[in-house]
Amino acid sequence: MGKYIVRRLLQMGLVLFGASLVLFACLYILPGDPISTLGGGEKARDPATKALLMKRYNLDQPLAVQYTRYVTNVAKGDLGTSFRLRRPVNDIIKEKIWNTARLALAAILFTILIGISAGVIAAVLQYSFWDVLVTLTTTLAIGFPTFVIGLIFQYRFALRWHVLPLSGHNGGLKSFLLPGLTLASVDAALVARLMRGTMLEVMRADYIRTATAKGLSKRVVILKHAMRNSIIPVVTYLGISFGTLLGGALITEVIFNWNGIGSTLVTAISTQDNPIVLGVSTYAVLIFVLVNLFVDVAYGFLDPRIRLE
Amino acid sequence: MRETLTATTLERAPEPGETLLEIEDLRVHFHTDNGVVKAVDGVSWSIARGETLGIVGESGSGKSVSAMAVMGLVPTPPARYESGRIMFMGKDLLKADEKALRKIRGNDISMIFQDPLTSLNPVFKVGHQIAEVIQVHEKMGRIPARKLAVDLLAEVGIPNPKQRASEYPHQFSGGMRQRAMIAMALALDPVLLLADEPTTALDVTVQAQIMELLLTLQQERGTAIVLITHDLGLVASHADRVLVMYAGKVAELAGVDDIFYEPRHAYTHGLLSGLARLDVHRAERLEPIPGQPPSLIRVPSGCAFHPRCKLATQVCTDVVPELVMQDRPNHTAACHHSDQVALLVNGPAAAQHVKSAAETTAAGPPVAEAETRTS
Amino acid sequence: MTSDTEPAPLESPAAIEATSRAEGDAGLVDPGSGFAGASGQVTALGGIRRQTQFGDVRRRFKRNKLAVLGLVMIASVVLMALLAPWIAPQNPLHQDLLNTQASPGRAHWIGTDEVGRDQLSRLIHGSRIAVIVGVASIGIALVIGIALGALAGYFGRWWDTIIMRVADVFFAFPVIIGAIVIILVIGRGIMPVILSIGIFSWATVARLLRSSILSIRESEYVEAARSLGASRWRIVTRHILPNSLAPVLVYATVAVATAIVAEAALSFLGAGVKPGTPDWGAMISDGQKFFGYKDFLWFFPSIAVVYTVLGFVFVGDGLRDALDPKLR
C-alpha cells in the first residue's frame, strides 16, 4: 500500500507540474494581452504605464523566470490582488470556501445515497416497475442540465409550494436540500446507472454463485458480496465527476444566491476581476487533483488486486 | 485436529450405502427469446452415501445444470422446472422454500466449481470467506470461526495456513485456490459434495493432487461426491458409477467397469473411441465423434445423437429411445442399437483395454474438449 | 431500453470467442446468448463478419424506440439550425423597446425579452450555436483524442507514457474551469468556446480508445490475423480501430450533449459567446433575473436545451445497447 501511495503522489506531482504549465501558457503565451489580463485593462494604453506594468508583472523577464515566479507565488498562496475588492485573492477564497465545500459535500452525500440505492434496487429487481422507474428517471435527469433543474426546483418547491427556502443558506439544513439536490441530480443519475450496470454484471459472477452456494441469504449476497465489488467503479467515477461537480457548483451558487466561491467567480467574470478568476481556477485544479489522489487511495483499499500487485 | 461442527438439517446421519439423493424425471428448461433451451430434459439419477458418481458429457449436455438444480442455484427465470423431484434424505428440494434450501447449502450439500479464481470473491480474504460459511450455519464468533478456517486450510494441505488465511484469492496459485474452495465446501462436513469440473482449469500435475485430496477427504468423512466432468480419464480412475449425458438426457448409466468395457450406447462408444491409449500400440486411428453437440433449442428428432452417429438408421431419426435395462445388472442405456454397440465392443477389433487405457491417461486428453473448441 | 428486454444474439467476434470458451452448460451464466452464439453463424472471414455486425447494430438500434426518437429529436434541432433565417418569424437581434417582456401571445409566441427581441426567433437562432459548438468542439476532441489514443494504445512504450501523462494534465482541468481561463485570456466568442471545450475534452477520448485498443490488441482474433500474416497497417485499420471505436462512438454522442450543456453553462456564467448573440444559455441567464414573475423568459430556452440534450442521450444509450447488448 505504501508503495502504491508513493507512486500516486509522484504521479500527482507530475500532473500538477503539467497543469501549472498549461495555466501559465494560457496566461503568458496565448495570443492576448497579459497586461490587460493581469493589470486590468484600459490603463495600459499609455506607454509609460505599460512599461511600469510590464515591470510590475515581470513581463520583461524571460519566460522561464516568469514561470518560476508564477509557481513560487502559487505555492506561497499568493494569487495576486483583486482589482475590484483590493484584497488578496487568497483571503477572499478562504472566506468563501467553507460555504462552497458544504454545498459540495451535501451534493456528494446525495449522489452517493440516491445513486447507489437506486442503482442497487434497479439491478436487483431488473425489469420490474422499479427498474423501469429508475431507468426513466435517470435518463431524464441526465437530460436536465444543472441550471435548468435548479430553476425548476426553485419554481416548484419554493415559489409554488413554499416548502423550501428559495435561496441563501440561512435556513439551516433545509436550505441545503434544493441546491444540494440540484448539484447532485446529474451525478446521482449517472451513479445509479453505473451502479445498476456493474451490479448486474457482478451478480452474474461465479463468486456470487459461490456465496449463494454457501447458504448465505440473498440480502447478504447482495449487500456484502455484490455491493462490495460493484462499488469500486462507482468510487472511480465519483473522482472523475468531481470536476463536473465543481463546474456545477458555480452555476448552483448563482441560481441559489449561495455566497460561495462560485458566485464570487461569476461576479469576477462579469467585472473582469481577472486575478480572482485565475486564483479560483488554480485552486479548482488543485482540489480536483487532490480529490482524485484520495479516490485512488480509496480504490486501493477497496480492491486488494490493485493494492498488492 | 479441528473440532467437528454439528450444524445439519438432517434428522439422522445416513447409513453407509443408503441413498442420499434421488433425482426423478427432472426437466429444467430455459425460456429465452430464441426459444426454449431444454438444458435438462427428463433426467433421473441417484447417489448413495460415500459413493462417487461421475457425470460425463460434452458442453451443453446439461450435466452442470442438473447439479446446480440440486442446490437451487439455477436462476428462475429464465429457467423453469417443468417436472421432476429432487429427493434429499426424504425431502423434495424442489418444493423446499428458500430458507430451508439456504440451511442445506454449504452445510449438508456443498458445491465446488470449475474456475477457483472467479469462484472466490476477489475483495475478501480467503480466511474470511471460509469463516463466513461456518458462521452462517454455526453459532460461532468471529475469532473461533477464523481459527477453524485456518485449521481447514491446513487440512486441505495449504502450507503456512495462518498467514495464507489473511491473503486474498489473487495471491493464491490455481491449485491453492481450489484447495481453499474445497476447504470452504467441506467446512461443515456435508454428506454430499457436487464437484463441477473441479480440475478442468488446473495444470495436469495439480489436477492429480486435487483429486487425491478430494478422495482422501471422502474416505475420512464418507462424503458422497458427484463428479461432473468431460474428462473420461478422471471418471475412470475415481468414479464408482458413471452417468453419460447427451443433449439434456441420460444416454447411459452404469458401473464404471461396464461403461468402459461394455458400453451399450453408441455415444458412449464414440467417446471411448476418441480416447488416446498409451498402453496399446496405435493400430487404429483415434476416432473423434464427428460434428458438434446439438443446439438445445433445436434438438434433433428421435435420438438426439443420430446426426453424428454412424450406426444411425431410420428408427433413430423417428423414435426417441427409452432408457432400458441392458443385459447386465444396474446398467441402462437409451440407444436403439445397443446390441450393435455390444458387437462393436466385443468384436475382433474390440477395445478390451479401453478402461485401463483411460486410467493410465487419467489426466489425458479430455475427450469432449476437442468438440467444445469447435463450437 | 425497457421496451424490448431480450438478450440479442452476440455476434461480435469477442462475444463468439467468449461463448465458445465458456463451459456451455445452459444457465451457467446467460443461456440466451450462450446458445445463440453456439447456433449462430460463426464466420471466419473478416469482411462478412463486419457486415453482419454492422447490420446487427443497425437492427438493434432501430428496434429501440427511444433511440429512434432521439435521432428524430436531433434531426429536428439540426434542421432548425439550418433553416433558422427562413423559419424564424423575426430578426433575432431586432429590439422593440416599446414592447419589452411581452407575454407569450399571437405576435410573439413565446414572448419578448427585456429589450423587446422576439424570444422565438432568438430560440430558433440559438440552435445554431448549440449545434455548431456541440459538433465542432467534440470534433476537435475526437481528432486529437483518436490520434493520440491510437498512438498510445498501439505503439505503447514511451508513446504511451508521454501521451497518457499529458492526457492526465488536461484531465485535471474541469471543462468549465479550463474554458473560463482560456476565454478570459482570448476573449468571448464562439471560436474560443469551441476551442476551449474541445481542448479540455480530448483526454477522455484518448483514454477510452487506448484502453479499448489495449484489450483488443491482445484478443485472439487479432492474434489470428497476425498469425495469418496480415500487415500491421491492415491489422490496425481493419481489425483494431473498427472494433475499438465503439466505446468512443458512444462517448462522442453523449459528449456532444455535454458540450452543448457546457456552452450554455458558460453563457449562463457570462463567459460564453459575445453578449447579444442569440444563445440558449444567455437567454436562460437573462430570464432568470426575472424569476418569479416573467418565468416564460427562462422556461422556453430551458426546454430547448433539455430537448436537444435528451435527443443525444437517447441516441447514445441506443448506440451503447446496440453495440454491446450484454450491457443491458
Q: Using one digit for the tens of pLDDT, what is the confidence trace for B268-289?
A: 888 887 765 555 554 555 667 7
pLDDT in tens, C113-139: 888 788 898 999 999 999 999 999 999
pLDDT in tens, B191-203: 889 988 888 777 7
Which chain B residues are Cβ-neighbours of A218 within 8 angstroms?
98
pLDDT for the residue C76: 95
Q: Please tell me the pTM assigned to this model.
A: 0.81
Residues of B with a Cβ under 8 Å from any A Cβ are: 71, 73, 98, 102-107, 110-111, 113, 115, 118-124, 132-133, 136-137, 168, 170-171, 181, 184
Q: Across the interface, do C27 and B34 touch by the CB < 8 Å criterion?
A: no
Whether the CB of A206 is below 8 Å from some CB of chain B: the reply is: yes
- Provide the pLDDT confidence category of residue B305 given band limits of 50, 70 and 90: confident
Whether the CB of A58 is below 8 Å from some CB of chain C: the reply is: no
- Provide the pLDDT confidence category of residue A34 given band limits of 50, 70 and 90: low
**Grid coordinates of B344:** 462393436
- State the average pLDDT over residues C9-30: 30
Q: Identify which of A206, A216, A302 has the shortest CB distance to residue B115.
A: A206
Mean pLDDT is lowest, of A36-40, B263-267, C315-319, for A36-40
- Provide the pLDDT confidence category of residue A281 given band limits of 50, 70 and 90: confident
| Beta-bridge partner residues of B46 | B22
Question: Is B161 within 8 Å of B154 (Cβ atoms)?
Answer: yes
Whether the CB of A229 is below 8 Å from some CB of chain B: the reply is: yes
Percent of chain C residues past pLDDT 70, beyond the cut: 83
pLDDT in tens, C172-221: 888 888 898 888 888 889 999 999 999 999 998 998 898 888 888 777 77
Query: What is the 8-class DSSP label of residue B13?
Result: P
pLDDT for the residue A296: 82
Q: Across the interface, do A148 and C291 touch by the CB < 8 Å criterion?
A: no
pLDDT for the residue C315: 92
CA angle C10, C12, C16 (to 5 degrees): 70
Euclidean distance between CA atoms B8 and B29, whole angstroms: 31
Q: Across the interface, do B118 and A229 touch by the CB < 8 Å criterion?
A: no
CA angle A67, A93, A28 (to 5 degrees): 20
**Chains linked to C by 3 or more Cβ pairs within 8 Å:** A, B
C-alpha distances (whole Å) from A98 to each of A169, A226, A262, A274 are 12, 36, 12, 22
Which chain A residues are Cβ-neighbours of B127 within 8 angstroms?
none
pLDDT for the residue A45: 62
DSSP C104-170: SSSSSTT-B-TT--BHHHHHHHHHHHHHHHHHHHHHHHHHHHHHHHHIIIII-HHHHHHHHHHHHHH
Nearest residue in chain C measured CA to CA from A145: C261
Please report, as a single letter, which amino acid is at residue C82: L
> What residues 228-257 of chain C have any CB closer than 8 A to a CB of chain A?
257
Nearest alpha carbon to residue C96 among C128, C73, C118: C118
pLDDT in tens, C43-91: 333 333 444 567 777 888 888 888 899 999 999 999 999 998 898 888 8
Which chain B residues are Cβ-neighbours of C6 within 8 angstroms?
32-33
Q: Across the interface, do A269 and C271 touch by the CB < 8 Å criterion?
A: yes
Dihedral sign, CA of C173, C179, C184, C187? positive
pLDDT in tens, B56-98: 888 778 888 888 888 888 887 788 888 888 888 888 888 888 8
Mean pLDDT for chain C overall: 78
Q: Identify which of A269, A285, A292 has the shortest CB distance to residue C269.
A: A269
Query: What is the 8-class DSSP label of residue A42?
Result: G
Nearest alpha carbon to residue B241 among B259, B224, B228, B229: B259
**Chains linked to A by 3 or more Cβ pairs within 8 Å:** B, C
Strand order, beta sheet including B192-196: B109-112, B192-196, B224-229, B52-56, B241-246, B249-255, B332-333, B324-325
**Chains linked to B by 3 or more Cβ pairs within 8 Å:** A, C
Instruction: For A279, list phi and psi in degrees, rounded to 5.
Output: -60, -45
Q: Identify which of A206, A303, A308 has the shortest CB distance to residue B171.
A: A308
Which chain C residues are Cβ-neighbours of B62 within 8 angstroms?
25-26
pLDDT for the residue B257: 84
Which chain C residues are Cβ-neighbours of B249 within 8 angstroms?
none
Helix (H, G, I), strand (E, B) or coil at C322: helix
Mean pLDDT is lowest, of A278-282, B148-152, B248-252, C7-11, for C7-11
Mean pLDDT is lowest, of A261-275, B290-304, C273-287, for B290-304
pLDDT in tens, C279-311: 999 899 888 888 878 888 889 999 999 999 999
Nearest residue in chain C measured CA to CA from B372: C20
Q: Across the interface, do B102 and A216 touch by the CB < 8 Å criterion?
A: yes
User: Grid coordinates 442540465 are at which residue?
Assistant: A145
Euclidean distance between CA atoms A71 and A306, whole angstroms: 33
Q: Across the interface, do B122 and A303 touch by the CB < 8 Å criterion?
A: yes
Burial class from Cβ neighbours inside 10 Å (0-12, 13-18, 19+) for residue A83 reads middle
Q: Identify which of A31, A154, A265 has the shortest CB distance to residue C291.
A: A154
Cis peptide before B329 (omega within 30 of 0): no
